Structure 1
Amino acid sequence: MKVQSLFIYPVKSLAGIRVQAFEMDDFGAAQDRRWMIVDAERNFVSQRTHPELARIHTRIENGTVFIDIPGEGSFYLEPGDEEVRVLVWRDWVKALYGKPAPSAALSRYLGQPLHFVYMPDDTFRRVDASRVSDYRRVSFADGFPFLVVNLASLEELNGRLEEPVDIRRFRPNIVVEGAEPWVEDHWHNLVIGSTRFELVKPCSRCIMTTVDPDTGVQAPNLQPLRTLGKYRRTPDGVIFGMNAIHEAPGTIRVGDSVTLSETE
């Protein structure tokens, strides 16, 4: 097995970036989901309610995150000094408001008051303690630093669909090739390159999988979620992929070997 592709998502729920390698810090992949969008109540906003967010592209230049908003132009994101408590799922965490111009453009694009917020280094949002006993942190990602998916599982799913879907629907960080479909259900520990990962929870999938990552339009037939629900429903939900934590900082690259250190 080896790494087929890698992705990072500088802003939660905006388009991701396919990369050849990424470094890992205490949060996870460096610069992954350190930015997020919140509404007037300081609650996070995602493609679940605003699928057109998929059309906002992101890029990183010299360590700075840039966004391209349709009809508004290109902006760079820069944290300001004003602190704010924001809600991501059940966690209220400390963040910094971004400078106003990008937020104003985003508000015009979606037709409601919205703000970009940044998670600074001194914010500690804990990974789900019911799944990870170590005192580990996570960024604005849904719950864990990494999502690992198996390319063969996507291909098996696509064989059931009238219209195949892209792996981007599932917003992975690490895509593995060279395995049989769905064997990831039984993975516990992987070594990718020289870094060990612990797979701690199956990833339950939501309505975001029905959003076309190129057009930001939700599929009227709710595919591929509807098909997945027919044969991938478990006590953890409709499952595709595995959430993971990393053992230590390091770098992983496309083409790195992936080895299993424990299965059941």
Structure 2
Amino acid sequence: MSGSSGALGGFGLLPPLPQSRAAWLGAAGALALAALLGAAAWRWAGRRAGGARRQRVGTVSGLFVYPVKSCRQVALRSAEVTAMGLRSGDMRDRVWLVITEDGHMVTARQEPRLVLISVNCEDGYLMLNASDMKELRVPIKLPKKNPVHNCRLFGMDIQGRDCGDEAAQWITTYLNAQSYRLVHFEPHMVPRKSRDIFTTFRSTDKISYPDCSPVLIVSEASLEDLNTKMEKKVQIKNFRPNIVITGCSAFEEDSWNKIQIGDVEMKGTMGCPRCILTTVDPETGIIDRKEPLETLKSYRLCDPSERHLYKSHPLFGWYYGIDKTGTIQVGDPVYKIVH
């Protein structure tokens, strides 16, 4: 009937003024309420199971994997987030590793020029490129006759299948160093437990060759804040994050206990304690050993009560474990889950 009254009103058959005024006020009130709720919806995305809410805190501006530990990053538009970190097809995060003949890991801490090696995966091959070197192509599915090495990462054992003599020769020649080998962590191999490295992680947090965590998140604002204190600016590449967030304040990523991106849910576990790897210039492969570490130490040391965890390392970025797997992409909103 209200629809009919509206139609008749166009022909001058209006209902009594008080009723019309009440309808007008009701409609205006409804519009005002809708506008108010619309404005709030950007910030609060409604109730979840258990009375939790989602509060928008930013937007994904970058996604990165590092298929070969310490080599160049691969930027992604979208990524599958697995229990062990980001992947896109055959490009999984840090599943290839350079080792010494006796199995100890080799990273840009010892061989800074590793950061200049470009990485790609295509048609079942891992491809490595570097200046003055012919492209190396290594099959992702290695022959079973290739030996499996026991590798040592930060005092812990983990397996890796040898990628063959050609790969070993390529790495050794490029670095102009002692005899090195390249190994691959295969999906059936037993991962390391993050909790065995830092007790802040959960028993479900597992990794292959990353330092300790499935995912590292850094915000653009944190980098900008650091660069206001630096004589020579540094890049996000210095810090090798998996997910970069924009639209939040500096170091806000430290305070998000639980977050949701797309259908993925993650749990913040601890800050990322920084080392000399951050002082390797990602464009030249030259290690400085001082900056940005010295500047970070001037204002990003942990609380004294947490010194047993972080020692004298400054913190930059935050480690996250995976609660719910799924897919994320650049441009996705980031929500903090608030109980």
TM-score normalised by the chain length of structure 2? 0.74
Question: Aligned residue for 2:325?
Answer: 249
Q: How many residues align?
A: 262
Matched, 1:166 2:227: no
Cα separation, 2, equivalents of 1:244 and 1:185:
10
Higher mean Cα deviation, 129-138 or 117-126? 129-138
Which of residues 49, 52, 66 is equivalent to 1:9?
Answer: 66
- The alignment partner of 1:232 has SS state of coil
Alpha-carbon distance between aligned partners in 2 of 1:211 and 1:56, rounded to the nearest angstrom = 13
Candidates 228, 234, 238, aligned match of 2:296: 228
Aligned runs of 1:1-264 on 2, under 5 Å?
1-30=58-87, 31-78=92-139, 79-81=142-144, 82-110=147-175, 111-124=177-190, 125-129=192-196, 130-219=199-288, 222-234=290-302, 235=307, 236=310, 237-262=313-338
SS across alignment from 1:105: helix
- Ranges in structure 1 where 5+ consecutive residues have no aligned partner: none
Q: Judging changes above 3 Å, is the alpha-carbon distance between structure 1 residues 197 and 135 closer, same or farther for their aligned structure 2 residues? A: closer
Higher helix share: 2
Higher strand share: 1
**Larger RCO, structure (CA 8 Å, separation 6 or more):** 1
> Following TM superposition, by how much is the alpha carbon of 1:64 offset from its aligned partner in structure 2, in angstroms?
3.0
Aligned-pair CA distance for 1:251: 1.2
Aligned to 1:77, what secondary structure does the other structure show? strand
Distance apart, 1:69 and its partner CA: 2.9
CA distance in 1, matches of 2:125, 2:260: 30
* C-alpha contact 2:267 2:322 (8 A) present in aligned 1: yes
CA distance in structure 2 between the partners assigned to 1:178 and 1:204 by the alignment: 24
TM-score, length of structure 1 as denominator length: 0.94
Give the conservation status (yes or no) of the 8 Å contact 1:80–1:97. Answer: no
C-alpha distance in structure 1 between counterparts of 2:212 and 2:138, whole Å: 23
Q: Which stretch of structure 1 is more off in the superposition, 1-10 or 55-64?
A: 55-64
The Cα RMSD (Å) is: 1.6
State the alpha-carbon separation in 2 of the partners of residues 187 and 135 from structure 1: 19
Instruction: Report what 2:44 is aligned to.
Output: none
